[in-house]
Structure formats: structure tokens, C-alpha cells
């Protein structure tokens, strides 16, 4: 029984980690201000030939598509002084894959929240020491996640391109993500530096939330011991 309980709390910690991570991904990925700051930082107006207003319009439409608020990416904007359709067929097909990835992420996150509630209710009913065990699980979950994130970012800092490619090999079964930066606006808008900074922002929010969980668990555990 003790082994089963330990496994249950480990599972709860893993589910909590996934929920917080996917929440951080959503917070950064759908923050238009984040995109606009990155555009200014990397001089994307010059690279794409779009001014800030057109870039913001295209970004808002792109995010609306990923949130399933609109059905297609037939977006028009002024590019280099001429109104035209922004994305080509290859870019649109890639974004179909990206949208499916976000849909799956939202489903996993929402399912994880429900699973967390059910597992917690189960522990409340079956484990008389659930508060103490939950606080320990929170501490260990926080420590494990901070260590993993730090290790991951050390590796990414050394060779971001390698792990960026690994991500695409794992989550996509085609090469549509290999876009031409000289011709295709999507990759001009979102260069590799954008994704590095986006990953960094996600990590900061995620580490912040998981550290809060760990601190709450530590303070409760310390109080109980006193």
C-alpha cells in the first residue's frame, strides 16, 4: 500500500508539472505583446517589409487561427508597399500541424487538471496524512523540475539549433517546418532567436510557478514538524 501511495504522489507531481508547463506555454504563445517586443528587438519590420500595424494584424490573425477562432490563414497585409496574401501554401500546411499540436496541448492540460482534482480527492478520502505527503510531493516536484529546466537550458544555450531540430523531429512527421527565410514570411517573422527567447520566457514563468508550489509545500511541511 505504501508503494502505491508513493507512486500516486509521484504521478500527481508529474501531472502538476505538465499542467503548469502547458499553461506557461499558452500564456507566452498567445501574448501579442511578446511578439511585438520580439519584432522590435530583431528588426522584423525591415526583414518582412511590413510595418508594426500590419505585423500586429497578421500576428493576431495567426494566433486566432491557432485558438480555432478562425478557420484559415488567408490573411492579407501590406508587404513592401503592396497588399498581398501573406502566407504561401507550405506555410499554411505547417501551421495546420502547429494548430493540431496546440489543440492536443490544450486537451492534455485540461485533462490533467481534471485528473489532478480526482487524484487529490482520492488521497483526501484514503490517506489520513495526505496534507503532509502532498507537501513533500510539492517540494520534491519543484526541486526535480528546477534541476531539469536548468539542465535543459544549459544544453540549449550550448546548441539551441540541435534541440530546436529535435523538437520538430519528435512532434512533426514532415519537413514543412523547413522554410526559406529569403522567401517565406512566416520564418522571417519568427526566426530562431524568437523561439529561443520564447522558450526562455516560458521557462521563467514555469520555474516561477513550480517554485511557488515548492515553497508552499516546504512552509507547510516545516510548520507541521514544528
Question: Residue 194: its pLDDT value, please?
Answer: 96
* Whether the predicted pLDDT of 226 surpasses 60: no
Q: Which of 72, 38, 70 is nearest to 55 (CA)?
A: 38
How many domains is the chain partitioned into structurally? 1
With the C-alpha atoms ordered 36, 37, 38, 41, is the resulting torsion angle positive or negative? positive
User: d(Cα 14, Cα 201) in Å, to the nearest integer?
Assistant: 21
The domain of 39 spans 2-225
Length of the chain: 226
pTM of this structure: 0.91
Res. 1: pLDDT tops 60? no
**How far is 39 from 45, CA to CA, in rounded Å?**
7
- For position 70, what pLDDT does the model report? 95
Q: Is the pLDDT of residue 149 over 90?
A: no
d(C-alpha 87, C-alpha 44), whole Å: 16
From 158, 164, 163, 173, select the one nearest 192 (Cα to Cα).
164
pLDDT at 128 over 90: no
φ, ψ of residue 181 to 5 degrees: the values are: -65, -15
What count of other Cβ atoms lies within 10 Å of the Cβ of residue 164?
A: 15
User: For 172, phi and psi rounded to 5 degrees?
Assistant: -130, 140
Share of the chain above pLDDT 90, in %: 74
Residue 188 CB-half CA count within 13 A: 20
Report how far apart, in Å, the C-alpha atoms of 29 and of each of 7, 9, 24 are: 33, 30, 8
Look at residue 165 in the predicted model and tell me its pLDDT: 92
Q: Which of 69, 75, 66 is nearest to 99 (CA)?
A: 66
Per-residue pLDDT for 34 more than 90?
A: yes
Amino acid at each position: 500500500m505504501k508503494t502505491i501511495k508513493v507512486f500516486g504522489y509521484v504521478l500527481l507531481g508529474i501531472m502538476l508539472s505538465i499542467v503548469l508547463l502547458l499553461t506557461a506555454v499558452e500564456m507566452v504563445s498567445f501574448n501579442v505583446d511578446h511578439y511585438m517586443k520580439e519584432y522590435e528587438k530583431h528588426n522584423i519590420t525591415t526583414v518582412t517589409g511590413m510595418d508594426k500595424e500590419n505585423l500586429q494584424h497578421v500576428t493576431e490573425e495567426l494566433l486566432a487561427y491557432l485558438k480555432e477562432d478562425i478557420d484559415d490563414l488567408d490573411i492579407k497585409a501590406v508587404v513592401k508597399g503592396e497588399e498581398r496574401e501573406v502566407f504561401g501554401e507550405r506555410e499554411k500546411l505547417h501551421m495546420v500541424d502547429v494548430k493540431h499540436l496546440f489543440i492536443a496541448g490544450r486537451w492534455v492540460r485540461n485533462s490533467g487538471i481534471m485528473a489532478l482534482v480526482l487524484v487529490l480527492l482520492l488521497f483526501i478520502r484514503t490517506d489520513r496524512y495526505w496534507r503532509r505527503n502532498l507537501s513533500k510531493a510539492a517540494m520534491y516536484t519543484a526541486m526535480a523540475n528546477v534541476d531539469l529546466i536548468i539542465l535543459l537550458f544549459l544544453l540549449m544555450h550550448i546548441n539551441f539549433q540541435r534541440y530546436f531540430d529535435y523538437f520538430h523531429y519528435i512532434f512533426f512527421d514532415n519537413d514543412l517546418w523547413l522554410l526559406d527565410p529569403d522567401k517565406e514570411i512566416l520564418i522571417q517573422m519568427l526566426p530562431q532567436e524568437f523561439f529561443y527567447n520564447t522558450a526562455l520566457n516560458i521557462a521563467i514563468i514555469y520555474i516561477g510557478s513550480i517554485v511557488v508550489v515548492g515553497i508552499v509545500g516546504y512552509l507547510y511541511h516545516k510548520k507541521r514538524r514544528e
